[in-house]
Amino acid sequence: MHKKFPLQLTRTSLTILALLWFAIPALSAEGNQPPARKYSNIERLALPRLKAVQEDVLKLRSQRTKIAPMPGLNDYRCILHAHAEDSTHTGGTLPEMLADAKKAGINAILLTDHFRPPRDFIDGRWRGNKEGVLFVPGSEIRGCLLYPEASVLGKMEAPFPELLKAVTAGDGMIFLSHVEERTDHPMDGLTGLEIYNRHWDAKKDMPSLIAVAMKLTDPKQLAELEEAVKLYPDELLAFQCDYPQVYVDKWDDGTKKFRLTGIAANDCHHNQVFIVKMVDEETVLLGTIVDKDDGLRKITAALRPGIKEMTKGHKPGDILAKVDMDPYQRSFWNTSTHVLAPKLDEPTIRTALKAGHAYVAFDWMCEATGFRYEATGTDGKSVGIMGDELKYVDGLKLSAQFPIACQTRLLRNGVQVAETSGKDRVEFPVKEPGVYRLEAWLTVDGEPRPWIFANPIYVR
What residue ranges bind Zn ion (CB under 5 A)?
1-2, 140, 267
State the virtual CA torsion across 316, 317, 322, 328 in degrees, nearest 10.
170
CA distance 267 to 269: 7
Amino acid in the structure at residue 430: V
Nearest residue (CB) to Zn ion, 54 versus 272: 272
Q: Strands 173-176 and 144-147: what pairing?
A: antiparallel
CB of 90 to Zn ion, least distance (A): 6
Nearest residue (CB) to Zn ion, 167 versus 457: 167
Q: What angle do CA 18, 22, 25 make, to 5 degrees?
A: 145
Q: Strands 415-429 and 397-412: what pairing?
A: antiparallel
Nearest residue (CB) to Zn ion, 1 versus 396: 1
CA distance 324 to 229: 8
**Residue 133 near residue 110, CB atoms below 8 Å:** no
CB of 79 to Zn ion, least distance (A): 12
Rg (CA), the chain: 23
Nearest residue (CB) to Zn ion, 140 versus 445: 140
CB of 114 to Zn ion, least distance (A): 6
Nearest residue (CB) to Zn ion, 167 versus 398: 167
CB of 145 to Zn ion, least distance (A): 8
Which element (helix H / strand E) includes 167?
A: helix 160-167
Backbone angles phi, psi at 233, to 5 degrees: -60, -45
CB of 1 to Zn ion, least distance (A): 5
CA 460 to chain centre: 30
Nearest residue (CB) to Zn ion, 176 versus 225: 176
Cis upstream peptide for 118 (omega within 30°):
yes
CB of 44 to Zn ion, least distance (A): 24
CA distance 114 to 111: 10
CB of 321 to Zn ion, least distance (A): 24
Is the alpha carbon torsion for 57, 59, 62, 67 positive or negative?
A: negative
Nearest residue (CB) to Zn ion, 139 versus 208: 139
Nearest residue (CB) to Zn ion, 109 versus 410: 109
CA distance 69 to 386: 14
Nearest residue (CB) to Zn ion, 140 versus 439: 140
Question: If 0-12 CB within 10 Å is exposed, 13-18 middle and 19+ buried, where does residue 391 land?
Answer: exposed
Please report the DSSP string for 66-94 in residue order: --PPPTT-EEEEEEEEE-SSSSTT----H
The maximal CA–CA distance of the chain, rounded, in angstroms, is 77
CA distance 382 to 399: 9
CB of 156 to Zn ion, least distance (A): 16
State the virtual CA torsion across 106, 369, 238, 353 in degrees, nearest 10.
70
CB of 178 to Zn ion, least distance (A): 8
CB of 271 to Zn ion, least distance (A): 8
DSSP state of 8: G
Question: If 0-12 CB within 10 Å is exposed, 13-18 middle and 19+ buried, where does residue 67 land?
Answer: middle
CB of 159 to Zn ion, least distance (A): 23
Nearest residue (CB) to Zn ion, 140 versus 367: 140
CB of 196 to Zn ion, least distance (A): 13
Nearest residue (CB) to Zn ion, 1 versus 440: 1
DSSP state of 378: T
**Residue 22 near residue 211, CB atoms below 8 Å:** no
Nearest residue (CB) to Zn ion, 209 versus 375: 209
